[in-house]
Amino acid sequence: MRSHRTALAAAFVLAASLGAASAQSLPPVEAFGRLPFVTDVQISPDGKHFAGIQEKDGQPVAVIYTIDSPDPPQAFGAQDGAVVAGITWAKNDRLIVYYKAARQIFAGERGLSTWFRSVSVDVGGQKWSQLMSNIRSQNFNFAIGAIVDKNLDDPDSILMPLWALSAGGTWHLALYKVDVHSGEATQIQEGASRGEDWIADGAGGVVGRVDLSFEPLTDHLWLYHGGTWKDVREFDASEDRGANVFGLTYDQKYIAVGGVNAAGRADIERLDRETGATAGILYDDPNYDVAEPLTDDWTGRVIGAAVMRDKMEYVYFEPVRAALQQTIQALFPDQDAHAVSLTRAGDKAIIAVQSPDQPRTYYLYDFAAHTTIKLASEYPDLKPRDLGQMQPYPYKARDGLDIPAYLTLPPGRAAKNLPLVVLPHGGPDARDRIGFDWWAQFLASRGYAVLQPNYRGSKGYGRAFDAAGFHQWGLKMQDDISDGVKKLVADGIADPKRVCIVGASYGGYAALAGATFSPELYACAVSISGVSDLAQWMHNVRVAAGDRSQSMSFWLSRIGSRDEDEARLEATSPALHADQVRVPILLMHGKLDTTVPYSQSEEERDALRRAGKSVQFVTFANDDHYMRLGETRIQMLTALEQFLRANIGN
């Protein structure tokens, strides 16, 4: 097995270690802020190669290693301002690389859009092809890259969807067979003008599709038998609902879909493959939502479920994977550990392991040899001594609702009278959990306690907890965050005079709302890519998606109508109440952000300046909403550290 170690040593050709910090010094900002050394590690179907996304000069590049070779990896980076965004194996000799780029479609901020494309790269790194290259309508598709079926028994083709123009001049979501070597595609199913998804059997056969209809928003499940399509089932598609089809079950007897059980928790349910009739629950949890289905790497069939309790946990229905998970849990007890990739024969696996004081680390597991070889850590320059301990910190909101939360304490510091950073997550339909968090751990390394509250409206705790956040931006959702601060102060953990609220996206909104509507709690606030004007945000959604869209339905349920809820939206928009702010505010935003417009931070900056308030504004000139570049993360952490030191010490 020595050759595995030799091959992995070549990784350092692309990204050299920063070097360990001395016992007296803090890990440098770059140890946290640079892109992960390697991530998204996947093994090829035949087990001869593995691939990942690796950092090179602050940019993510796709790399392909040959397991039994000492040669350096083959690398593929995006060009012309694009960024590698993902990878997946399609065949033994072909890796699909996804990349994205911001493109100015027409003048003005609303004309900036994010485009996704995909290329097929050979394992030698010498040949690549743009997928869908021969289809004229690909120029009108924002996203190209979804794979419906890897069709692994065919060495040349995969199945992919694409919006195409019919002979009659109407658009439809067609299904194509795509040659992974040439990139050229041939349409095999025309689909519908309001198509949403295709369902295949893992071997190139079409099983069904999902279409959308309006007024009311409804998903229709169509099943395909003997060359005939039949509309078998309808699903409410309003708010965040929908057909939510995951694919066939591992035994191919049923179609697996997302549902809600009697306790109001998201589950995985079975539908009859022939009729679409309900056939029982495949998996559910009495206390938590199913976070996502676990699917077979090569067939896409549903083989298990991931459930985010305090940490992510993995339950498999398929017997081989269930046995493997038991082995992994024995090897890595009390950690978030599971196989992220298997060979087609199931004889080798890539295992990912993490905990709060261990960044995600990848291992190669060989079933026959019963060996586990460490490949690489995402953050190799961080050691357990550099990282804080993360623990559950549940509390009750003022109206009695139980709020799950997590507290990370700075390493080597007693939990008493600490400066506190409140770090609400984005979304808001997301949640925090126990595990390594580069941002929270950076703050802990600088001496701050870090509170991450899963306020009402957070995902993972059932439909009622989610719905409790509807129309509560700046209101009860904000109270939940404030009540966590008060609990930490009452417990003697936080110094009430040294509290700063920091967040990105929705978390950025929460930071601005905290400084504006409960300024007595905070000494400063930091908003990264945050919303500041709710009515303007809803206007942007309407312009981009349309009144009848699922996106509009979702945001109406979460925020409300710009017209019908005008008074509430105005009352909870921080940019419209800058005069109430008493503390310094730091704003940061990417110029290429197509999720939350850059103008949301500009409006907040201008309002604060007019009100004579202290405000700093940092621009990420070449990045979007998600801080995909190493230089952006380092710039963000550097500015954040300086701002916190100036306002709450360390």
For the cut 80, the answer to whether the pLDDT of residue 18 exceeds it is no
pLDDT band at 8 (very low <50, low <70, confident <90, very high): very low
Residue-level pLDDT at 102: 87
What are the structure tokens assigned to 447, written together?
Answer: 């001496």
For the cut 50, the answer to whether the pLDDT of residue 12 exceeds it is no
Q: Are 353 and 423 contained in the same domain?
A: no
For residue 395, tell me if it sits in a domain. yes
Residue-level pLDDT at 270: 98
Share of the chain above pLDDT 90, in %: 87
DSSP-derived secondary structure for 333-344 = TTSEEEEEEE-T
H helical segments located in 431-579: 438-445, 463-467, 476-490, 506-517, 534-545, 550-558, 566-571
Residue-level pLDDT at 15: 46
Q: Model confidence over 86-103: pLDDT tens digits?
A: 999 999 999 999 999 988
Selected residue with higher pLDDT from 179 and 17: 179
pLDDT band at 588 (very low <50, low <70, confident <90, very high): very high
Residue-level pLDDT at 10: 43
Q: Are 369 and 421 contained in the same domain?
A: no
Least confident of 158-172, 377-391, 491-505: 158-172
Which is nearest to 582 in space by CA: 539, 612, 604, 559? 612
Q: Are 34 and 64 contained in the same domain?
A: yes
**350-353: long-range contacts at Cβ-Cβ below 8 A with a sequence spacing of 24 or more?**
350/41, 350/42, 350/43, 350/50, 350/375, 352/41
- Mean pLDDT, rounded, for 232-247: 94
The verdict on whether omega for the bond into residue 356 sits within 30 degrees of 0, i.e. cis, is: no
For residue 396, tell me if it sits in a domain. yes
Residue-level pLDDT at 167: 77
Residue-level pLDDT at 610: 98
How many domains are contained in the chain? 2
Q: Are 463 and 514 contained in the same domain?
A: yes
Residue-level pLDDT at 68: 86
Q: Are 409 and 501 contained in the same domain?
A: yes
Q: Are 605 and 471 contained in the same domain?
A: yes
Query: What's the CA gap between 298 and 606, in Å, rounded?
Result: 52
- Mean pLDDT, rounded, for 553-565: 94
For residue 273, tell me if it sits in a domain. no
For residue 22, tell me if it sits in a domain. yes
Query: What's the CA gap between 101 and 145, in Å, rounded?
Result: 14
How would you classify the pairing of strands 405-409 and 449-453? antiparallel
Expressed as residue numbers, the domain containing 32 is 1-130+318-326+339-379
For residue 299, tell me if it sits in a domain. no
For residue 50, tell me if it sits in a domain. yes
Q: Model confidence over 527-549: pLDDT tens digits?
A: 999 999 999 999 999 988 888 89
- Cβ within 8 Å of residue 502, ≥6 positions away: 421, 422, 423, 443, 511, 525, 526, 528, 640
Least confident of 106-110, 198-202, 438-442, 633-637: 106-110
Return the H-helix or E-strand segment holding 1: none
Q: Are 509 and 598 contained in the same domain?
A: yes
User: What is the CA 498 to chain-centroid distance, rounded?
Assistant: 31
Q: Are 429 and 374 contained in the same domain?
A: no
For residue 627, tell me if it sits in a domain. yes
Residue-level pLDDT at 11: 44
Residue-level pLDDT at 168: 79
Tell me the whole-structure pTM to 2 decimals: 0.94
pLDDT band at 207 (very low <50, low <70, confident <90, very high): very high
pLDDT band at 9 (very low <50, low <70, confident <90, very high): very low
Q: The domain that contains 611 carries what CATH number?
A: 3.40.50.1820
Least confident of 22-26, 362-366, 427-431, 509-513: 22-26
Q: How far is CA 529 from CA 314, 453, 505, 556, in A?
A: 33, 19, 5, 21
Q: Are 423 and 527 contained in the same domain?
A: yes
Q: Are 509 and 396 contained in the same domain?
A: yes
For the cut 60, the answer to whether the pLDDT of residue 14 exceeds it is no
Q: Are 479 and 527 contained in the same domain?
A: yes
For the cut 90, the answer to whether the pLDDT of residue 322 exceeds it is yes
For the cut 70, the answer to whether the pLDDT of residue 450 exceeds it is yes
Residue-level pLDDT at 19: 52
How would you classify the pairing of strands 402-403 and 405-409? unpaired
For residue 221, tell me if it sits in a domain. no
Residue-level pLDDT at 86: 97
Q: Are 358 and 411 contained in the same domain?
A: no
How would you classify the pairing of strands 83-91 and 94-104? antiparallel
How would you classify the pairing of strands 254-260 and 245-248? antiparallel
Residue-level pLDDT at 647: 98
For the cut 70, the answer to whether the pLDDT of residue 454 exceeds it is yes
- Mean pLDDT, rounded, for 317-325: 94
Produce one character per residue of 340-371: b if its CB has 16 or more CB atoms within 10 Å, e if not.
bbbbbeeebbbbbbbbbbbbbbbbbbebeeee
